[in-house]
Amino acid sequence: MASDLSKPLPWSTHLPPWLKDLQPETLFPSFVAGSITGVIGVIRAISYAALIFSGSLAESLNVGVGIAVLSSAIISIVVALTSSLPGMIATPLAAPTAVLAILAAQIVQNLDPATTDAPERVMTVVAAIAIGSLVTGATLWLLGTVKGGNALQFIPYPVVGGFMAATGWLLVRGAIQVMTGEPLLLSNLTEFMGRDLVLHWGSGLVIALVLLAMTKRYHHALIMPGILLAATGLFYGVVWQSHAPLDRIRAQGWLLGPFPAGNLWQPLTPAGFGQVHWGVITQHSSTLGLLVFVSLLSLILTNGGIELALGRDLDLNQELRAVGIANVMAGLGSTMAGNQALPSTLLVHKMGASSRLTGLFKTLPCFAVLLLGPAFLAYFPKPILGSLLLFLGLDLLWQWLYQIWFRLDWVDYLTILVTLVVVNWVGFMVGIAIGFAMTAIQFLYGCTQTSPIATDAESPLSGVVREKSPKEKGDWPGLAHIEGKVDWIDLQGFLFFGNAAVLFQRLRSRLIHPTDDQSPNYLVLNFQAVLGMDASAVLTFKKVLKLARDAQVTVVFSQVSEPLQRQLIRGQGLDLESEYCVLCETPAPLPGQLPPLDPPSVEVPAVVSSEGIQAPGKANPVQLRANAGP
């Protein structure tokens, strides 16, 4: 469907870019994709508002909905117009929202109900959310302006995993509170086994599990909204069958509200500044700093995922500036911080709607909700909103606790578990700090267990990548008979999170941006002098394989020790079932040990088979294997 909708007309190829977006073949898919992602964004925004405005703030949920929905619209417009990728979709994300929920709970806890009324508490929370957006936006914009994007990619992978798993558990706890009205604590676990509470959170759990199973099995844009719509219809079908009035259903805690009349968007005004307790906000400045860090981390992860999935380079510094400006605008509008949305961005590109108009059309459902006002919110079932939060939390836990188990060593996995536990028992900052400390200790221990002496004939060079000259390539008979361009790269030292980003940039440049504008046919990675690697380095080779497959370049892994082979295969950094990934069994001789063979009298293109790289009619002195285990 995407190819039919997005196929340009012959005469439209000569139009300026802004006029091409207005052509029917671009306008229609942009409208459809924008409307779908807008509806999904509205549903998520309402659930995020319910997470932040829970507990004693639940009676002001209408204010939270206005904040989240308008934030989705503002951030979508700015990012759509300023991103380096046409068709980029932006919206509030789960991880920064979890931090805002913590910030709101801290503020409410510090405000004495005996001396402060509800409007003061709400306005203080709104002010804190706006300040968080302004600080986040200014920081991201500044980092992008000074071109500090590349220096931000040194976060250890296990620490990221622990942070994402902790975010998932916080979303699960928040979902339980949204559905039951009670916080999930060790001291009150037995209360959740009561019949009434079990019905509330149990119904949401069933919907969340259905969402999780169906979205894993079917990758369609309408799966999630379709299931939520069907669950809402089923809920009201049961209510209609019971003949119970809605007031009784609402009194039993199944529906949101009631809410006071008025607009959903209630921004800060000069008259409202007097109701804000600024001292309480400054007491939690560390949480605001955490919001900046989490937003930055989310941006790096999202941009990396988009680059890997679409096979396109993004200008990280431009993305920092785009999201920074968007968050500043959101803060001026008294709304929450947001970021690029990976699933929605991939969706619009799959639908052939990679136009800047898509992000603008996404705002139509947002503005429709703001015009409807708070009346329709009173008919939202709490289990539906809670199930969406529960689904997002379980999805993160599934990815970062279960699936990651099969890809990491036990030490890296232990870092994820410890970070998860500490974040939920002590706090985000302490948990992340302990995760960094464990990763640093692991790195130092790995360095002490490996010899610092390189096995190469030459002295080790500084950095990660060392490239051989064309003459040295002939020293290996297995490559001397290959027809096509061969890039030979030696890897040295310990590959870890500190140099993984540099390694990826160098390898990617050889695949996508070669100096002679001719991509290689083969990329040989010599692991002879590699001392070890961590999970971040394994992830780098996984990305390289994806880029090589897209560019139709064969990656040859040479002299990989068996422990490194197992680590690469486990983390999907070495795919022996791919025709573009080959593992060399025979060591490559050192420079000068073997003279280059005479070239064949007749040049015959090389072929890649299950037995390796081989010129037809010639015996291949170096056996390669592509489909066998280590």
Instruction: Quote the pLDDT of residue 309.
Output: 77
Percent residues over pLDDT 90 in the chain: 32
Alpha-carbon 436 to chain mean position:
20
The pLDDT tens digits of the residues spanning 240-292 come to 998 888 888 888 888 887 777 778 888 888 888 889 999 999 999 999 999 99
Residue 443 has pLDDT above 60, yes or no: yes
Instruction: Quote the pLDDT of residue 585.
Output: 67
Q: What is the C-alpha to C-alpha distance for residues 575 and 541, in angstroms, rounded to an integer?
A: 10
427 pLDDT band, cuts 50/70/90, is: confident
Q: What is the C-alpha to C-alpha distance for residues 75 and 277, in angstroms, rounded to an integer?
A: 27
Instruction: Quote the pLDDT of residue 255.
Output: 86
Instruction: Quote the pLDDT of residue 302.
Output: 85
Quick one: average pLDDT of 373-392?
A: 85
Q: What is the C-alpha to C-alpha distance for residues 239 and 509, in angstroms, rounded to an integer?
A: 61
Instruction: Quote the pLDDT of residue 483.
Output: 63
Torsion-angle region of 259 (φ positive above 0: left; ψ -120 to 50: alpha; else: beta): beta
Question: Is 465-594+602-625 in CATH node 3.30.750.24?
Answer: yes
Question: 3-state class of 488 per DSSP?
Answer: strand
Question: 3-state class of 156 per DSSP?
Answer: coil
Instruction: Quote the pLDDT of residue 620.
Output: 36
The pLDDT tens digits of the residues spanning 533-577 come to 889 899 999 999 999 998 889 999 998 999 999 999 999 999 988
Instruction: Quote the pLDDT of residue 152.
Output: 66
Instruction: Decide if 543 contacts 505 (C-beta within 8 A).
Output: no
The pLDDT tens digits of the residues spanning 134-158 come to 999 999 999 999 987 766 666 788 8
Quick one: average pLDDT of 10-14?
A: 48
Percent residues over pLDDT 70 in the chain: 81
Residue 457 has pLDDT above 50, yes or no: no
Quick one: average pLDDT of 119-128?
A: 93
Q: What is the C-alpha to C-alpha distance for residues 391 and 216, in angstroms, rounded to an integer?
A: 12
What's the one-letter identity of residue 100? L
Report residue 486: phi and psi, to 5°.
Answer: -120, 125
Residue 364 has pLDDT above 80, yes or no: yes
Instruction: Quote the pLDDT of residue 65.
Output: 92
Q: What is the C-alpha to C-alpha distance for residues 118 and 434, in angstroms, rounded to an integer?
A: 38
Task: With both helix axes pointing from N to C terminus, report the angle between 94-110 and 157-180 in degrees, rounded to the nearest 10.
Answer: 60
Quick one: average pLDDT of 184-193?
A: 79
Instruction: Quote the pLDDT of residue 313.
Output: 82
90 pLDDT band, cuts 50/70/90, is: very high
Quick one: average pLDDT of 56-62?
A: 87
For the chain, the domains span 2-8+16-392, 465-594+602-625
Residue 463 has pLDDT above 70, yes or no: no
Instruction: Quote the pLDDT of residue 598.
Output: 38
| DSSP symbols for 358-383 | HHHHTHHHHHHHHHH-GGGGGG-BHH
| Lowest model confidence (mean pLDDT) among 50-54, 333-337, 381-385, 602-606 | 602-606
DSSP structural state of residue 253? T
- Helices and strands, counts by H and E, the chain: 24, 10
Cβ within 8 Å of residue 407, ≥6 positions away: 535, 538, 570, 571, 572
Instruction: Quote the pLDDT of residue 153.
Output: 65
Instruction: Mark 534-550 as b/e (b = at least 16 C-beta within 10 Å).
Output: bbbbbbbbbbbbbbbbe
DSSP structural state of residue 528? E
75 pLDDT band, cuts 50/70/90, is: very high
Q: What is the C-alpha to C-alpha distance for residues 30 and 6, in angstroms, rounded to an integer?
A: 9
Candidates 376, 320, 314; CA nearest to 86 is 314
Residue 219: is it exposed, middle or buried by C-beta count within 10 angstroms (0-12/13-18/19+)?
exposed
| Lowest model confidence (mean pLDDT) among 68-72, 127-131, 191-195, 473-477 | 473-477
Q: How many residues does the chain have?
A: 630
Instruction: Quote the pLDDT of residue 16.
Output: 53
Mean pLDDT of the chain: 80
Residue 311 has pLDDT above 70, yes or no: yes
Q: C-alpha dihedral over 152, 158, 164, 168, to 10 degrees?
A: -170
6 pLDDT band, cuts 50/70/90, is: very low
Alpha-carbon 522 to chain mean position:
31
Quick one: average pLDDT of 350-356?
A: 82
Residue 392 has pLDDT above 90, yes or no: no
DSSP structural state of residue 334? T
Instruction: Quote the pLDDT of residue 441.
Output: 87
Instruction: Quote the pLDDT of residue 586.
Output: 57
Question: 3-state class of 311 per DSSP?
Answer: coil
